[in-house]
Amino acid sequence: MANTNKIPFLDALLELGEGEETIIVIHGQPFVVSRATEDDIERISRGYFCLD
């Protein structure tokens, strides 16, 4: 069964290189997004979404 819940900006996020950022807008709210490093994950340390 195919996954029909594709995230519209998923391809753009996957194309981000190391140190690059982009802005996505969800329900009118802008978010600055970049690839997380291991240090970021340790620093934030409060859950994250895994979209494998």
Q: Measured between alpha carbons, how far is 6 from 42 in angstroms, rounded to an integer?
A: 28
Amino acid at residue number 2: A
pLDDT in tens, 11-41: 888 999 989 999 988 899 999 999 988 888 8
pTM over 0.75: no
Across the chain, the runs of DSSP E, i.e. the strands, are 21-26, 29-34
For residue 4, CA distances in Å to 7, 12, 23, 25 come to 9, 18, 24, 21
